[in-house]
């Protein structure tokens, strides 16, 4: 029988050492930032009970849940007559668990289960893979990482401020300089719908306005007409569309525009406070853009909404989030307000590849390889290896006797920058020859000096 070639399930992928080094560069930067701001790390299980997951993501989301078959004889509770009644009848009898679909619902479950032990406001971050039984396509996977940070149990707008600051810090450290953090408030959108006389229709309004960049105002007006918005409403909308650039001028115009909408004015007030806090913190408004028509997750968010776009790349948004009023309500704990956002690690990776921003020398490469000519060199090298590692220098000893050229080729292919060469002289004098593979320089020195240099 021919041996079958191994393959991966569709929509999943391997990350080799080079990709992992780059991914870790991104993840370590994000993690360090979260910790600096007082967020604590949380992990939840890969599997949740299906009862925890179903009904939380809408009908479409339920379709995309990966179900896990019960262990053992998973058919033992299925009767013959169940088979005629279709998958929905059989499912609860064969699968009680599913793979996690996002990090938000497990977080809500965690908060409810541990509400008596948690210190509120609770600042948590979570970096774990999630699974969706979606049709795989370019840039869309069935297994991918999410990277979330949330604060629950406070209405303070300092939380919104800190999200802006964390995004700015992460991007500065990754070397991404041409980007904008678009920020808006759900209440402003509600206010705009009220002012134009189409109360409660902000959802449809935003779907149409969202296409402004792509299709222009004329086409957006046509779409609004098709959605049965009155001509009067569409005309009343134009001051919002024609807002001049600059955050403060937008605030001025909207204050008079929304003057008759209580909820709209509340949104303006909240957003202005976030900008004030930014100033008090000592940080400027660069990269922060008040985008009046930004609308995301309308059914979900109730206050501030964020979206981060990197300019001049082919990838959409790389981060987003907002404030929600009732994270834990689905599990019976009402009124826990929170604000959160998430970094799209895979998308940030693609952006950095496209802009060529990854540092060349990856930190998790071996720093030095010990090479030798004979058994004597091998024994001497083994003793050195211990000393190098105690000093915290990532090092290897070539594991088998081979021509020195082969040992050097190994170092080259693994991008190891230094080799130690052990010949008869070095062994006799208790020294080492340290060679820099990039410059070709080689010097004989004692071990202590070599360790200092390598550090």
pLDDT, one tens digit per residue, over 14-28 is: 999 989 999 999 999
- Other beta carbons within 10 angstroms of residue 420's beta carbon come to 24
Coil, strand or helix at 317:
strand
Most confidently predicted of 65-74, 89-98, 138-147, 164-173: 164-173
Mean pLDDT of the chain: 93
Coil, strand or helix at 116:
coil
Q: What is the pLDDT of residue 361?
A: 60
CA nearest to 159, candidates 149, 169, 146, 168? 149
Q: What is the pLDDT of residue 344?
A: 93
Judge whether 372 is annotated as a binding position: no
What's the distance, Cα to Cα, between the start and end of the chain in Å? 54
Judge whether 103 is annotated as a binding position: yes
CATH 3.30.930.10 location in the chain: 17-44+100-354
CA distance 52 to 214: 39
- pTM over the 0.85 mark: yes
Distance of CA 93 to the CA centre of its chain: 35
Angle at 123 between CA 121 and CA 129, to 5 degrees: 145
CA nearest to 318, candidates 327, 329, 306, 330? 306
Q: What is the pLDDT of residue 116?
A: 95
Q: What is the pLDDT of residue 245?
A: 87
On whether the CB atoms of residues 162 and 38 are closer than 8 A, the answer is no
pLDDT at 386 over 90: yes
pLDDT at 362 over 60: no
pLDDT at 363 over 60: no
Q: If pLDDT is split at 50, 70 and 90, which confidence band does 241 have?
A: confident
Judge whether 300 is annotated as a binding position: yes
Q: What is the pLDDT of residue 70?
A: 94
- 243 CB-near residues (< 8 Å, 6+ apart): 249, 250, 253, 254, 292
pLDDT at 281 over 80: yes
CATH 3.40.50.800 location in the chain: 368-454
Q: What is the pLDDT of residue 78?
A: 86
DSSP 3-state helix, strand, coil percentages of the chain (rounded to 5)?
45, 20, 40
Judge whether 104 is annotated as a binding position: yes
Q: What is the pLDDT of residue 143?
A: 95
CA nearest to 150, candidates 282, 292, 304, 341? 341
Q: What is the pLDDT of residue 413?
A: 93
Could you tell me how many residues make up the chain?
455
Query: What's the rounded mean pLDDT across residues 61-86?
Result: 88
Query: What's the rounded mean pLDDT across residues 259-278?
Result: 96
CA distance 141 to 126: 19
Q: If pLDDT is split at 50, 70 and 90, which confidence band does 298 have?
A: low
Q: Out of 39-53, 338-352, 357-371, 393-407, which region has the weakest mean confidence (pLDDT)?
A: 357-371
On whether the CB atoms of residues 339 and 304 are closer than 8 A, the answer is yes
Q: How far is CA 353 from CA 23, 26, 336, 359, in A?
A: 11, 12, 39, 11
State in words which class domain 368-454 has. Answer: alpha beta
Judge whether 213 is annotated as a binding position: no
**Chain segment 321-359, per-residue pLDDT in tens:** 999 988 888 898 998 999 999 999 999 999 999 999 998
**Chain segment 199-216, per-residue pLDDT in tens:** 988 888 888 887 887 888
Judge whether 40 is annotated as a binding position: no
Q: How far is CA 118 from CA 121, 160, 296, 331, in A?
A: 9, 21, 29, 16
User: Of all residues in the chain, what percent carry a pLDDT higher than 90?
Assistant: 77
- Fold of the 17-44+100-354 domain: BirA Bifunctional Protein; domain 2 (3.30.930)
CA distance 259 to 49: 48
Judge whether 296 is annotated as a binding position: yes
CA distance 39 to 327: 18
Query: What's the rounded mean pLDDT across residues 114-130?
Result: 96
CA distance 274 to 165: 11
């Amino acid at each position: 029988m021919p041996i079958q070639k191994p393959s991966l399930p569709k929509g999943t992928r391997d990350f080799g050492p080079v990709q992992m080094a780059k991914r870790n560069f991104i993840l370590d930067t994000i993690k360090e930032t979260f910790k600096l701001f007082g967020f604590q790390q949380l992990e939840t299980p890969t599997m949740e009970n299906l009862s925890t997951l179903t009904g939380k993501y809408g009908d479409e989301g339920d379709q995309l849940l990966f179900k896990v078959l019960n262990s053992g004889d998973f058919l033992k509770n299925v009767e013959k007559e169940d088979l005629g009644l279709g998958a929905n009848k059989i499912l609860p009898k064969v699968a009680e668990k599913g793979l996690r679909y996002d990090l938000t619902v497990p977080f809500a479950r965690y908060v409810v289960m541990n509400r008596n032990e948690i210190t509120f406001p609770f600042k948590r971050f979570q970096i774990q893979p999630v699974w969706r039984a979606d049709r795989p396509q370019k840039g869309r996977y069935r297994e991918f990482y999410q990277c979330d940070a949330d604060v629950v149990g406070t209405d303070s707008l300092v939380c919104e401020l800190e999200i802006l600051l964390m995004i700015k810090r992460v991007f500065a450290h990754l070397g991404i300089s041409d980007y904008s953090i678009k920020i808006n408030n759900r209440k402003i959108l509600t206010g705009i719908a009220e002012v134009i006389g189409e109360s409660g229709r902000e959802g449809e309004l935003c779907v149409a306005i969202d296409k402004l960049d792509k299709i222009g105002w004329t086409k957006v007006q046509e779409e609004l007409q098709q959605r049965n918005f009155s001509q009067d409403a569409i005309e009343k909308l134009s001051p919002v569309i024609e807002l001049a650039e600059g955050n403060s001028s937008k605030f001025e115009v909207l204050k008079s525009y929304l003057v008759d909408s209580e909820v709209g004015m509340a949104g303006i007030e909240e957003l202005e406070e976030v900008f004030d806090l930014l100033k008090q913190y000592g940080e400027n408004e660069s990269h922060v853009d008040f985008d009046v028509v930004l609308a995301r997750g309308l059914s979900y968010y109730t206050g501030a909404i964020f979206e981060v776009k990197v300019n001049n790349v082919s990838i959409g948004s790389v981060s987003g989030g907002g404030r929600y009023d009732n994270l834990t309500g689905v599990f019976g704990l009402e009124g826990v307000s929170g604000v959160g956002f998430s970094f799209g690690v895979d998308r940030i990776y693609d952006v950095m590849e496209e802009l060529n921003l990854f540092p060349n020398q990856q930190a998790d490469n071996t720093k030095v390889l010990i090479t030798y000519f004979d058994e004597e060199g091998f024994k001497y090298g083994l003793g050195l290896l211990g000393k190098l590692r105690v000093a915290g220098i990532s090092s290897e000893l070539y594991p088998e006797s081979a021509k020195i050229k082969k040992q050097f080729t190994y170092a080259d292919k693994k991008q190891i920058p230094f080799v130690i060469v052990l010949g008869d002289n070095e062994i006799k004098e208790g020294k080492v020859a340290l060679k820099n593979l990039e410059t070709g320089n080689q010097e004989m020195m004692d071990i202590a000096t070599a360790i200092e240099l390598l550090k």
